[in-house]
Amino acid sequence: MSDFFSGYQVGEFFDEMFAAPDSVRPHYSKLLGRFKEMARDDFERKRALAATTFLTQGITFTVYNDDQGTERIFPFDLVPRIIPAQEWDRVERGLVQRITALNLFLHDIYHNQNILRDGTIPKSIVWEAAHFRPEFMHFDVPGNVYIHICGTDLIRDRAGNYLVLEDNARCPSGVSYVLENRQAMKRVFPTLLGEYRVRPVEDYSQELLNVLRFVAPQGKSEPTVVLLTPGTYNSAYFEHSFLARSMGIEIVEGRDLVAQGGKVFMRTTKGLKQVDVIYRRINDDFLDPQVFRKDSGLGVPGLVEAYRNGSISLANAIGTGVADDKVVYHFVPKMIRYYLGEDPILPNVPTYLASVKEDLAYILEHIPELVIKAANESGGYGMLVGTQATQAECDDFRERVRQNPRNYIAQPVVPLSRAPAFCDEKMQGRHVDLRPYILYGEKVTIIPGGLTRVALTAGSLVVNSSQGGGSKDTWIIDEAETA
């Protein structure tokens, strides 16, 4: 008998596992039972096994702005996050609805711009978005799909409602952790996974490859698909290599590619070989120094020309960044109503736009109660959690917002739900979010669950790996399994 959960505090948050102290939610009861039977050294052994697995496999990420500066293991917490199927099905419907609307929006703003013409969304919001690419107006993408891979961050409020925090429509990362976490859990809790009949995630790579092959230029029945990485020093390099490996495709750097006569080739030991589909993990800005940033050494001169004449496909398409602009985010519920005539299934977090006069006044006055975010930053950079910031930090952001209102939004601090994590030798409630991965090719496919990130620092609301976050395996289980 072990005391992992003795003295566990639910606190004033929605707790994923406990409805109240000593009142476990039904879908977690079997897990709790297992932990009660587990001896402490058995648990320690499991933890060591998981850690060794990650270290020897080199499942690490790179932290920028750090002199130690190299690789770290993404901390992995052994307590899985469990979501009952019924709850998940609703989330899934909401995500399908959202990605459908976002793609219709992108097609619209790169063609007729109806949504801007009739004033549903202010023109300036799109035209001033840093990642809007007017160069690609009236450019058609295969199947009219722009965002082939999307990572949408979900959080739960105090009542347990799922809210969308942001959409990552450029190069979302983290899916390799979902797959590796599951591998680790299979080693560590083989029987429990079987008993719960957790929905598998292993076919993600195959689904991703299907999407990439689906978007190939017309007439390519056996397309050559490659993954374009910025290189080994990129923080997500492990993931790039992991995905390329599990799809059986080449991972290339910009210097491996050459564009000639409107086509793109890779340099092989047998000469040049034509490439058809590029799953690029490089942002638009760095793709082609002839078109975007001149100083980019990561891209391929002439790549965009090949893309324009249709000899290659890119996933995601160029210009999707406008959809994950945090100001545009505010308008996604409107898009859903506009394009689909439906009510949003998953609501947004209430958002104040600094570019709106009344909102700006409110933001400047209430910074210490708000979360301030730059419109185009990610990874937890360029944001301020007012409730946890110093006076000086608040003043600094107040000035930044005043200087450049279009670039900032503010949201109330959402008390993220918590889940038990093993910290300081016992189970403690830690804030979590959820990033499901959505694939859009011939149809929309969503990985069951996704990446649960957990802020391992007590009280912290920032779950990013670069800011001290860890992750958990996420289990979607059918109702019958909850009893």
Partner 1 sequence: MLSRVADSLFWMSRYIERAENNARIADVNLQLLLDLTNQPDSDPRQQWNPIISSLEENELFASLYSEPDGRAAIDFVSLQQRNANSIYACLAHARENARTTREQISSEMWEQVNRLYLFVQSNDARELLGSSPYEFFRRVMAGSHLFQGITHATMTHGEGFHFMRIGRLLERADCTSRLLDLKYHILLPSGERVGGNVDTIQWMSVLKSCSALEAYRKIYVDQVAPWKVAEFLITHDAFPRSIRFSVDSLDQALHSISGSDEARYANEAERLSGRLRSDLDYVTTGEIFKFGLHEYLESIQKRLIEINHATYEAYCAHPRTA
Binding site for partner 1 (CB under 8 A): 55-58, 232, 237, 241-242, 244-245, 248-253, 255-256, 258, 260-261, 265-272
Q: How far is CA 187 from CA 10, 29, 328, 471, in A?
A: 29, 21, 42, 17
Tokens of 22: 């000593």
Nearer CB in complex with partner 1: 272/356: 272
DSSP-H helix ranges across 83-140: 85-109, 114-117, 123-127
Q: How far is the CB of 48 from partner 1 (least distance, A)?
A: 15
CA–CA distance, 71 with 73 (Å, rounded to integer): 7
Q: How far is the CB of 236 from partner 1 (least distance, A)?
A: 13
Nearer CB in complex with partner 1: 259/462: 259
Sheet holding 313-315, edge to edge: 250-252, 225-228, 277-280, 313-315
Nearer CB in complex with partner 1: 224/407: 224
The backbone torsions φ and ψ at residue 408, rounded to the nearest 5 degrees and listed phi first, read -130, 145
Burial readout 409-428 (b: 16 or more C-beta within 10 A, e: otherwise)? bbbbebbbbbbbbbbeeebb
Q: How far is the CB of 267 from partner 1 (least distance, A)?
A: 5
Nearer CB in complex with partner 1: 52/161: 52
Nearer CB in complex with partner 1: 83/251: 251
Nearer CB in complex with partner 1: 204/352: 204
Q: How far is the CB of 245 from partner 1 (least distance, A)?
A: 4
Query: CA quadruple 424, 426, 429, 432: dihedral positive or negative?
Result: positive
Nearer CB in complex with partner 1: 257/416: 257
Let me know: does 181 contact 76? Beta carbons within 8 Å: yes
Q: How far is the CB of 231 from partner 1 (least distance, A)?
A: 8
Nearer CB in complex with partner 1: 264/463: 264
CA–CA distance, 48 with 54 (Å, rounded to integer): 10
Nearer CB in complex with partner 1: 183/460: 183
> What's the burial of 46, exposed, middle or buried (CB within 10 Å: 0-12/13-18/19+)?
middle
According to DSSP, the residues that pair with 226 across neighbouring strands are 250, 278
Nearer CB in complex with partner 1: 155/226: 226
Q: How far is the CB of 103 from partner 1 (least distance, A)?
A: 30
Q: How far is the CB of 57 from partner 1 (least distance, A)?
A: 6
Q: How far is the CB of 269 from partner 1 (least distance, A)?
A: 4
Q: How far is the CB of 406 from partner 1 (least distance, A)?
A: 40
> What's the burial of 226, exposed, middle or buried (CB within 10 Å: 0-12/13-18/19+)?
buried
Q: How far is the CB of 205 from partner 1 (least distance, A)?
A: 12
CA–CA distance, 35 with 28 (Å, rounded to integer): 11
Nearer CB in complex with partner 1: 267/337: 267
Kindly give, in sequence order, each residue whose CB lies less than 8 Å from that of residue 470, ignoring residues fewer than 6 positions away: 74, 75, 76, 77, 421, 453, 454, 456
CA–CA distance, 441 with 210 (Å, rounded to integer): 8
Q: How far is the CB of 42 from partner 1 (least distance, A)?
A: 25
Cis peptide before 65 (omega within 30 of 0): no
CA–CA distance, 217 with 322 (Å, rounded to integer): 24
Number of CB atoms found within 10 A of residue 444's CB? 18
Number of CB atoms found within 10 A of residue 281's CB? 22
Kindly give, in sequence order, each residue whose CB lies less than 8 Å from that of residue 437, ignoring residues fewer than 6 positions away: 149, 150, 151, 172, 174, 175, 178, 204, 446, 447, 450, 451
